[in-house]
Structure 1
Amino acid sequence: MTALLDSGAFSCYIDQRFAEKHGFKMIPLKHEIQILNTDASPNKGDAITHLTDIGKLDMIIGMSYLCQHNSEINWQAGEWKYSRCPSTC
């Protein structure tokens, strides 16, 4: 699996092909997701209303996940540990 830890992304995103390959249940969105650029302006590509291809990545892991799980990231060693994950996980 290839994932991007993105502190600039609020949510997490998964590639359609990866989700289908691993048997993820797909549920249509009730509301579209508005995409904002780094300067908070609306993205000209419009909102996400359906599954999408996120390129060579399997997933993008954003701040909602990183904050909830509060994992340890050692950027120099390239390690990601779940030593502080809440008991609700």
Structure 2
Amino acid sequence: LVFRVNALLDSSTTGVFIDKNFVERNWIPKVALPRAVDIFNVDRCSTIILGHTWLHQHNLLVDWKTGEVKMGRCLARCQQLAPRSSFVHMVEKLEREAMDSYITWIQSLGMGKPKMGKTPEELVPKAYCEYLLVFSEKESEHMPLRKPW
């Protein structure tokens, strides 16, 4: 199977993701995950997101001045059309990576919480405590008043 699609290269993403509607439209085999993984793509026009795992494996040649990306260092086996059984294996691997990324994301949610039950006032230097309200959830629920600058 060969498709021409828009892909987002994202080195900050650990997995490889593909749009569910694209998979269904093209009858690409799927393997059910224990839980759905919702991915929110910033540009909303990429069918596939290729993360660090994929980028590391294929070691792309990137010309940062022209924006050109080539797969000149990719192994010969990567440039051949894969037989269907290999493709199914690849999809299963990608879905496992997606689940691993989801679990990593869930684990990272707990990392940003203050340790030992300290309040923000205890964690922030006294000189900056007067600005704590700016970062509160309540303040983030509305936009500031417009001002002519």
The 5 A counterparts of 1:52-71 are 52=38, 54=40, 56=44, 57-71=46-60
| Closer/same/farther in 2, CA of residues 12 and 88 from structure 1, 3 Å limit | same
Pair 1:28 & 2:17 matched:
no
Q: Report deviation, 1:54.
A: 4.3
CA distance in 1, matches of 2:36, 2:74: 31
Pair 1:50 & 2:39 matched:
no
Q: Report deviation, 1:77.
A: 1.6
Higher RCO (CA-CA < 8 Å; seq separation 6+): 1
Provide the TM-score with structure 2 as the length reference: 0.42
* Equivalences, count: 71
CA distance in 1, matches of 2:64, 2:7: 14
Aligned to 2:71: 82
CA distance in 1, matches of 2:6, 2:77: 25
Q: Deviations over 1:19-53 (max 9, x none)?
A: 12222111112x5xxxxxxxxxxxxxxxxx22646
Whether the aligned pair in 2 keeps the contact of 1:15 and 1:54 (CA below 8 Å) is: no
What's the RMSD between the two structures over aligned residues?
A: 2.0
Could you tell me which runs of 5 or more consecutive residues in structure 1 were left unpaired when the two chains were aligned: 32-48
Q: What fraction of aligned residue pairs are identical, expressed as a percent?
A: 32
Whether the aligned pair in 2 keeps the contact of 1:71 and 1:82 (CA below 8 Å) is: yes
| Closer/same/farther in 2, CA of residues 82 and 75 from structure 1, 3 Å limit | same
Could you tell me which runs of 5 or more consecutive residues in structure 2 were left unpaired when the two chains were aligned: 79-149
Q: Report deviation, 1:78.
A: 2.2
After TM superposition, the runs of 4+ consecutive aligned structure 1 residues lying more than 6 A away are: none
Out of 7, 11, 23, which is 2:11 matched to?
7
Aligned to 1:35: none
User: Which is greater in Rg?
Assistant: 2
The structure richer in strand per residue is: 1
**1:20 is paired with a residue of what secondary structure?**
helix
